[in-house]
Amino acid sequence: MTLIKTSEACRFGVKGQAAASWLTAYGLELPDTPNSWCALDAENRVLRLGRSEFMVEGPVSGKLENVWTEGLERLYRVPRYDAGFVLEGAAVSELLSRVCTLDTRPEVMGNRLLFTFVAGVVAILACETSQCYRLWCDAGYGNYMQRTLWEILDSITLREGSAT
């Protein structure tokens, strides 16, 4: 079971009625429903937060930063300061059952983004596979989240001897 903190990843946030068209103009494929996500490739993904707000994560957000121009109509930059985590391994579902009240099975989540509380903190949860989840929260809670998830992970693996 691994827990990787991806806080240093580049993220680019944008919102407004023109946000979707601006992003597609740069060749990005967007999720079509609010509160869902899609992977552009192995390193890049787009999260649709609400109806007209997006966050792009990965190297492509650097490109978007470069082409960003202030002052376009109905298009606003949303500064991001997130702590990101990748939770991977056999103990993931047990870990999630202890920090989240929702049903996080892949068949239930699909490509939806769950806006909920994780370990008492407002967070966004996405499911890649039954053994791989992504988590985002405000970076101010990054240390706390990492510490808490590790502690719980420890107690899971300690009890059961191995990460199953």
Partner 1 sequence: MKLLNCPINGLRPLSEFAYGGEVREPPLETSDAQWVDYLFNRNGAPGIKREWWYHVPSGTWFIAERDTGSDQVIKTYLWGEV
Partner 2 sequence: MTQRLPPQPGEWIDRSRTIEFVFEGKTYPAFVGDTVSSALWAMGERVLGRSFKYHRPRGILSHANQDVNVMLEDGTRTNLRGDVLPVEAGMVLKAVNRLGSVERDFYAVLDWLSPFLPVGFYYKTFHRPKALFPFWEGVIRRMAGLGALSPHAPRSETTKRHAYCDVLVVGAGPAGLSAALTASQGGARVILVDENPRIGGTLSYDHGGEKHALDTLRALQARIANEANIRVCVNTTALGYYADHLVPLACPNGLEKVRASKVIIASGAFEQPAVFRNNDLPGVMLGSAAQRLIHRYAVKPCERAVVLAGHDLARRVTLDLIAAGVEIAAYVELRETADCRWAEQRGIPVYRGYCVYEAYGKKSVEGVEVCLWDGQGRADVTRKHRIACDGVVMSVGWAPAAALLYQSGCQMRFDETRQQFLPARLAEGIYAAGRVNGNFGLEAALADGERAARNALGLAIGSDRVDDAGYSHPWPIIDHPRGKNFIDFDEDLQLEDFANAIQESFDNIELLKRFTTVGMGPSQGKHSNMNAIRVLSRIRNQPIAEVGTTTSRPFFHPVPLGLLAGRSFDPERLTPLHAWHLAHEATWVSLGGWQRPAFYGSDRASAIVDEVMAVRTAAGLIDLSTLGKFEIRGPQAGLFLERFYTGHYQNQAIGSTRYAMLLDETGVMVDDGIVARLAEDFYYVTASTSNAAAVYREMTRCQQIWGLDATIINLTGSYGALNLAGPLAPQILAALLSKHRLERLNGAEQLEIAGVVCRLLHVRFVSEIAYEIHAPARAMLALWEAIHSEGAPHGLKPFGIEAQRVLRLEMGHFIIGHDTDGLTHPFEVGLDWALAHDKPDYLGYRSLRILKRKPLKKRLVGFTLTQPPDVLPDECCLVLRDGAIVGRVTSIAHSPTLNRTIGLAYVAAEDAVPGATFVIRHQHGMDILATVVPRPFVGEAR
> Which residues sit at the interface with partner 2, rule CB under 8 A?
15-16, 76, 78-81, 94, 97-103, 105, 119-121, 138-144, 148, 152, 155, 159
- Among the listed ranges 59-67, 81-89, 91-99, 117-125, the one in contact with partner 1 (CB under 8 A) is 117-125
Angle ∠(137,106,4) on CA atoms, nearest 5: 40
Give the whole-angstrom CA distance, residue 68 versus residue 84.
23
Give the whole-angstrom CA distance, residue 63 versus residue 73.
20
- Among the listed ranges 19-27, 64-72, 77-85, 116-124, the one in contact with partner 1 (CB under 8 A) is 116-124
- Among the listed ranges 11-19, 62-70, 114-122, 148-156, the one in contact with partner 1 (CB under 8 A) is 114-122
Number of residues that bind partner 1 (CB under 8 A): 11
Is residue 81 at the binding interface for partner 1, with CB under 8 A as the rule? Answer: no
Orientation of helix 92-99 relative to helix 142-160, angle to 10°: 120
Indicate the residue among 63 and 77 with the shorter CB distance to partner 2.
77
Indicate the residue among 77 and 112 with the shorter CB distance to partner 1.
112
**3-class SS at 156?**
helix
Q: Torsions phi, psi of 97, nearest 5?
A: -65, -20
- Among the listed ranges 55-63, 69-77, 115-123, 148-156, the one in contact with partner 1 (CB under 8 A) is 115-123
- Restricted to residues 7-46, the positions that interact with partner 1 (CB under 8 A) are 34-35
Give the pairing of strands 76-78 and 36-39: unpaired
Distance of CA 131 to the CA centre of its chain: 15
Angle ∠(76,46,59) on CA atoms, nearest 5: 90
Indicate the residue among 28 and 149 with the shorter CB distance to partner 2.
149
